Amino acid sequence: MALNTTISADKNAPPITRILAEFVAGHPSRGWSDAVEHEAHRTFMNWLGCAVGAAHHESTQAAIRATQVLEPAAQALVLGSNIRVDMGNAALINGISSHTFDFDDTHLKTIIHPAGPVCSAVLALAEKLGSSGREVIDAVVLGIDVSCRVGNMMYPEHYDRGWHITGSTGTLGAAAACARLLKLDADKTQMALGIAASQPVGLREQFGTMTKPFHPGGAAKAGLMSALLAKEGFTASRRALEAPRGFAQVVSTKYAWNEITDELGQRFEISFNTYKPFACGIVIHPSIDACIQLREQGVTAENLERLDLRVHSLVLELTGKKEPKDGLEGKFSVYHGCAAGLIFGQASEDQYADDIVNRADMVATRGKVNAVIDNTIDEAAVDATAVLKDGRKIHLRVEHAIGSLQRPMTDANLETKFSNMSDEILGKDQTRQLMDACWSLAKAGSVGEVIQLATLQGSSSGHTRQQTAAAAQ
């Protein structure tokens, strides 16, 4: 019944709560390289596109209805809608929508999706405070640094234990970011981190349900509230993160304190953020990437006789579904992903709609794909050979799929991804302007323009994406 585990406490941990608080409160505005600065804009834009794209999804809508019962003040926008709620609930709902398609960013070292908790809290608070774009970008970089460093400290044991690391570290990241935006001093920032430490959000058991995307939303709301409480003088343990009965030692059996302090203020974890090009599990990405490249070389559904893939064993283990029946099953089919890449040149959320999965040309093309396991192939790679009806063979090898750190999504790729999610919600023109506003956010006097452009105007749109969801992984 009961398992015995010996937890021996580390009583001599360095004061990481204080160290992080001083860093968050004291690091200079834009105190980083151009590359970090640019990555922050990419992170923010990618997050915003995901949130707008899922604005009409059932999980977002259910959260909106639940918060309406609280009769919230119209403080902050629910992205992609014309609804405003109090900033705490805006953080919650935008955190939910941004993770609903499981299409947001990934800090690969920890599998944290860092933007959801941090950006959702920051933008809601910034709208209320009238913060400048500069302040927003500063808060995002520092908040994400906190959550990902805490993740580095505990990964993988914390994740293996069953915590959804995005939410459990996200509360801390959101609290740090909001403390920065509120201009709290180091003492109060330390309290904000302390209050947040008592509120880890997220169990892996929830994967496949709406509570998975709830995790970054709940973390955003809890982190924001922690900073507001700290501002008003609420107190917490000064060693909430590192004490023997503090956060790290309670929720993890690994706590590599040096991950908090190594190169702090010099190396920024947002540098290691990546963005998914395809709305499905990452093991399929090399295969879809290969198919898009084959399409660019002239391969079509019509001229293809057969596609032979050599893949890592995980691909068939996790995504070996030969005949998916709907969008959700399509997410677990490398065959469907390949057909989407060949026919559409992409695998966005739209390619996982039920009617697309069941379209005759998709079914036929899936049938032409043969995948076999090759133990010499890395998880990040694929070996693909297209045999055409005219007898020609085209061979391709992808070593690192698009979206990896080695072959990052270009800014143009990110814009295409954004458009694919946002065009149907906000319209093409407004989407284009919104992306431009994101790219120049640091120069904006306030977040007003971004908010205005992320607002659903009049009665446009009506498109709903309900078939798939974060349910996918």
Sign of CA dihedral 166, 169, 171, 177: negative
CA distances from 211 to 62, 72, 99, 164, 449 (A): 12, 22, 10, 11, 31
Stretch that binds its own copies, among 246-254, 312-320, 429-437, 452-460 (CB under 8 A): 246-254
Cβ atoms of 81 and 54 closer than 8 Å: no
Q: CB-wise, 60 or 420, nearer to its own copies?
A: 60
- Nearest Cα to 41, choosing from 125, 129, 138, 113? 138
Angle made by CA atoms 176, 96, 75, in degrees to the nearest 5: 70
Cβ atoms of 347 and 288 closer than 8 Å: yes
Please, what is the minimum distance in Å from the beta carbon of residue 229 to its own copies?
A: 5
- Residue 70 lies near its own copies (rule: CB under 8 A): yes
- Residue 211 lies near its own copies (rule: CB under 8 A): yes
- By CB under 8 A, the residues from 30 to 69 that bind its own copies are 58-59, 62-63, 65-67, 69
Q: CB-wise, 200 or 324, nearer to its own copies?
A: 200
Please, what is the minimum distance in Å from the beta carbon of residue 368 to its own copies?
A: 36
Stretch that binds its own copies, among 44-52, 256-264, 369-377, 430-438 (CB under 8 A): 256-264
Please, what is the minimum distance in Å from the beta carbon of residue 316 to its own copies?
A: 23
- Helix pair angle (34-53, 115-129), 10° resolution: 90
Sign of CA dihedral 427, 429, 430, 434: positive
Q: CB-wise, 227 or 311, nearer to its own copies?
A: 227
- By CB under 8 A, the residues from 312 to 371 that bind its own copies are none
- By CB under 8 A, the residues from 80 to 139 that bind its own copies are 86-88, 128
Residue of the chain from 257, 278, 335, 352 that contacts its own copies (CB under 8 A)? 257
Q: CB-wise, 246 or 286, nearer to its own copies?
A: 246
Q: CB-wise, 238 or 407, nearer to its own copies?
A: 238
Q: CB-wise, 48 or 178, nearer to its own copies?
A: 178
3-state secondary structure 405-457: CCCCCCHHHHHHHHHHHHHHHHCHHHHHHHHHHHHCHHHCCCCHHHHHHCCCC
Please, what is the minimum distance in Å from the beta carbon of residue 92 to its own copies?
A: 8
Phi then psi for 70, rounded to 5 degrees? -85, 0
Please, what is the minimum distance in Å from the beta carbon of residue 144 to its own copies?
A: 22
Cα(141)–Cα(119) distance, integer angstroms: 10
Residue of the chain from 15, 72, 320, 427 that contacts its own copies (CB under 8 A)? 72
Q: CB-wise, 65 or 412, nearer to its own copies?
A: 65
Please, what is the minimum distance in Å from the beta carbon of residue 66 to its own copies?
A: 4
Residue of the chain from 29, 30, 187, 244 that contacts its own copies (CB under 8 A)? 244
Identity of the amino acid at 125:
L
Cα(432)–Cα(423) distance, integer angstroms: 9
Cβ atoms of 326 and 354 closer than 8 Å: yes
Please, what is the minimum distance in Å from the beta carbon of residue 395 to its own copies?
A: 41
Q: How many CB atoms lie within 10 A of CB 363?
A: 15
Residue of the chain from 35, 250, 372, 405 that contacts its own copies (CB under 8 A)? 250
Kindly write out the interface string for residues 219-238 of this chain, putting x where it contacts its own copies by CB under 8 A and - elsewhere: ---x--x--xx-xxxxxxx-
Please, what is the minimum distance in Å from the beta carbon of residue 254 to its own copies?
A: 4
- By CB under 8 A, the residues from 180 to 209 that bind its own copies are 194-195, 197-206, 208-209
Please report which residue ranges of 54-185 form alpha helices under DSSP H.
58-68, 87-100, 115-129, 133-154, 157-161, 165-181
Please, what is the minimum distance in Å from the beta carbon of residue 93 to its own copies?
A: 11
Using CB under 8 A as the binding criterion, the count of chain residues that bind its own copies stands at 77
Identity of the amino acid at 55:
A
Q: Which residues contact 4 (CB under 8 A, 6 or more apart)?
A: none
Residue of the chain from 3, 297, 412, 462 that contacts its own copies (CB under 8 A)? 3
Q: CB-wise, 199 or 273, nearer to its own copies?
A: 199
Angle made by CA atoms 283, 288, 289, in degrees to the nearest 5: 100
Cα(187)–Cα(230) distance, integer angstroms: 9
Q: CB-wise, 35 or 66, nearer to its own copies?
A: 66
- By CB under 8 A, the residues from 362 to 401 that bind its own copies are none
